[in-house]
Amino acid sequence: MIQARGLTYRREDRSIVERVDLSLEAGKLHALIGPNGSGKSTLLKLLSGVIEPNEGGVFLSDKQLKEYGVSERSLLLAVLLQEQWLDFPFRAWDVVAMGGYPLGELESVLQVQITQALKALDIEELAEHAYTHLSGGEKQRVHLARLLVQIGDLTRCVLLDEPLKAIDLTHQISVMRLLKGLAKQGKSVFVVMHDLSLAAQFADSISLMSAGRIVHTGTPDDALETTRLSEVYQTQVESVRVDGQRLFYVR
Ligand SMILES: Nc1ncnc2c1ncn2[C@@H]1O[C@H](COP(=O)(O)OP(=O)(O)OP(=O)(O)O)[C@@H](O)[C@H]1O
């Protein structure tokens, strides 16, 4: 389990994340939702150790994340950040292979993992294409494949910031299934996302973030209660059930 205890992050006298406590259980897919600018990406960066909190800490098995070495961290945590700066024309294959660097796998093992990851993201035919020539959704799927290659037996937690960004409907579902599968393997999977219907469909628990604070954590039915959502999004949110799925809209 990974835990945030009293996490606070300030910039220029403004609290961007304010006293956040959060427990991400093993074997569960945990979604974080909330309006733009509410602090979700910042919280994910704090949880992954990319930035340091002003107060509080992140704990992995009761040891602070910052006490682990960088290479140990990259074995325990796999992280997909929202911004990916990569403007060199690597082949998609090479970008996916980068996920294997922390593991130091044998070349033959890595080849199999890359092939499987490309297949899982349905981008096998793009393997030899230059990354810089790919579409936005294709690039995102390449980064997800890179993340899959990084995930090994030792990985405890997978943190993803808007993994569905730019991805089409069909592949959104397959990515969510993949993430659910990782949770079923016993990983803690933490996903920042905006699609409430997909969160309702796939998450085991959901936290709502507003103005730097976690205002509620619960099961999908509890957290996505429409009066609660209306308050967080400052607009009247409604939902309907179609074929057993909850769909959300603004009145
Ligand atoms: N390093 C920083 N310095 C100053 N302000 C920052 C910094 N990082 C984030 N912010 C501000 O903190 C707020 C929260 O940003 P964050 O990216 O965490 O929001 P978010 O909930 O992920 O938003 P979105 O849904 O749009 O991705 C924003 O107003 C942002 O401008």
CATH of the domain at 176: 3.40.50.300
Which helix (DSSP H) or strand (DSSP E) does residue 110 occupy? Answer: helix 107-120
Whether the predicted pLDDT of 103 surpasses 70? no
- The atom number, within ligand 1, closest to the CA of 44 reads 18
- Asked whether residue 98 is domain-assigned, the answer is no
Q: How many domains does the chain have?
A: 1
Number of other CB atoms surrounding residue 83 within 10 Å? 6
Nearest CA to ligand 1 atom 16: 39
Residue 160 Cα, ligand 1 centroid: separation in angstroms? Answer: 16
- Asked whether residue 129 is domain-assigned, the answer is no
- Asked whether residue 121 is domain-assigned, the answer is no
- The atom number, within ligand 1, closest to the CA of 34 reads 21
What's the average model confidence in pLDDT over 213-230? Answer: 97
Structure-token match 């205002």, residue found: 215
pTM summary value: 0.95
**pLDDT at residue number 102:** 67
Residue 17 Cα, ligand 1 centroid: separation in angstroms? Answer: 9
Structure-token match 């970008």, residue found: 95
Nearest CA to ligand 1 atom 10: 16
Average pLDDT, the chain: 94
Verify whether ligand 1 is closer than 6 Å to residue 41 (CB atom): yes
64-95 pLDDT tens trace: 999 999 889 989 999 999 987 788 889 999 99
**pLDDT at residue number 144:** 97
168-213 pLDDT tens trace: 999 999 999 999 999 999 999 999 999 999 999 999 999 999 999 9
